[in-house]
Amino acid sequence: MSFVLGRLGQTVLVLLVAAFVSFSLFRYVGDPVNNMVGQTASLADREAMRAALGLDDPFVVQFLRFVGQALQGDFGISYRYGQPVSTLIAERFPATLELALISMLIATGLGVPLGVWTALHRGHWFSQVLLAISLIGVALPTFLIGIALILTFSVWLGWLPSFGRGQVVDLGWWSTGFLSWSGLRALVLPSVTLGVFQLALIMRLARAEMLEVMRADFIRFARARGLRPRAIEYRHALRNTLVPVVTMIGLQFGNVFAFSIIVETVFQWPGLGLLVIQAIQFADVPLLAAYLVLIALCFAVINLAVDLLYVAIDPRVRTSGAIRRTA
């Protein structure tokens, strides 16, 4: 229990630091005021606006004010949209999460079996082809893949929509694209684009881990005992391969969130990434601050979950902490 509390305390600290760092970056995104007033506003009007927004206050004062309000659940009003930041984020969050989930599903569902297969068939021509393709997947910039897919499947073949989320169905505060035909169609290109890099990464990692395990002593002993190859490969080797792969998948989930900024811009996917790109262009500080804290929170929660999983899997983590404390 104290372990969990300690971890939670660390998480809160991480969030504060993330907020502080992101906040100190905001003076480099430019002056929000010039986007909030029309071209006819005089310099004096602009000064008055800046003062009213508290942008003239010292950095520390602005930061403490932000933290104080955030603790009460108030992230302020977006400079660009004039709506509460929390409303905007809540509106956009489902789109990003659904996109991230589907692309991770594609990446994992294909990446793990392909990695294992290429490890088991090292000389096979198909393995070579897959490895070459995966290199392209790692090397090509995401936006290029996105544009190529749009040109092929939307402009040339006309099969899939090039932008947007299609028809969404509202389930209370959650809007989902899973329940309509156009929503599902709209998911294909962006999720494939977002998944390609992860797919290549997972496949290569699964392959490397599998090769490593296949060289291990216990596999050799199993072979020597004359176990069937199938049992060796899938019952013993695969299981040991999966532990680090699954950890990586968990951590990559956070990265998918970050990568989605590019994919969402290319496909005009109305999620958080698109919102934040627009926020950067308009120096929408309240929105940016809230977004960065949210992302930090996501990473912190994932890390916490991974840590707790380790505790569950590996009792040594638990006891070593306990021993140190009692000693």
Partner 1 sequence: MRLPVLLTTALTALFVAASPAFVPAPAAAADSGKEFRYAYRVDPASLDPHALAETFTLSWLGQVYEPLVGRGKNLELVPALATSWEQVEPTVWRFHLREGVKFADGTPFTADDVIFSLQRVKKDGSDMAYTVASVTDIKKVDDHTVDLIMAKPNPILPVQITSTYMMSKDWAEKHEATSPSSVKAKVENFATTNANGTGPFMIESRQAGVKTVLVPNPNWWGEKESNVSKVVFTPIQSDATRVAALLSGEVDMVYPVPQQDVARIESAEGTEVLKGSELRTMMLAMDQHRDELLNSDVKGKNPLKDKRVRQAIYQAIDMNAIKDRIMGGTSHIAGTMIAPGINGYDPKLDTRAAPYDPEASKKLLAEAGYPDGFSFTMDCSNDRYVNDERICQAIVGMLGRVGLKVTLNAQTRTKFFEKVLARDTSFAMIGWQPLSYDAHSTLQDTMNTPEGKVGTYNVGNYSNPKVDALTQKIEVEVDPAKRNAMIFEAMTLDKEDYGHIPVHQAGIAWGVRKGAHVVLRSDDSLELKWVTVD
Binding to partner 1 (CB under 8 A) within 295-324 occurs at none
The distance of closest approach from Cβ of residue 4 to partner 1 in the complex, given in angstroms and rounded to an integer, is: 37
CA proximity to 75, closest of 288, 296, 299, 318: 288
The length of the chain, given as a count of residues: 327
Residue type, 310: Y
Shortest distance, position 125 Cβ to partner 1, whole Å:
11
**Minimum CB distance to partner 1 smaller for 209 or for 264:** 264
Residues of span 125-154 touching partner 1 by CB under 8 A: 126, 147, 150-151, 153-154
292 binding partner 1? (CB under 8 A): no
- Within positions 220 to 279, which residues make up the interface with partner 1, using CB under 8 A? 230, 233, 265-268, 270, 274-275, 277-278
**Could you say which of 14, 55, 110, 302 contacts partner 1 (CB under 8 A)?**
110
Instruction: 291-295: list long-range contacts, CB under 8 Å, 24+ apart.
Output: 291/89, 292/18, 292/19, 292/22, 293/15, 293/18, 293/19, 293/22, 293/70, 294/89, 295/254, 295/257, 295/258
Give the nearer residue to partner 1 in terms of CB position, either 160 or 304: 160
Site for partner 1 in 155-194 (CB under 8 A): 155, 157-165, 185, 188, 192
Q: Which one, of 208, 187, 304, 196, lies nearest residue 256 by Cα?
A: 196
Count of alpha carbons within 13 Å of 253, Cβ hemisphere only? 20
Site for partner 1, residues 25 to 84, rule: CB under 8 A: 28-32, 34-46, 49, 52-53, 76-84
Q: Residues 24, 128, 247, 281: which binds partner 1 (CB under 8 A)?
A: 281
**Residue linked to tokens 């430019």:** 30
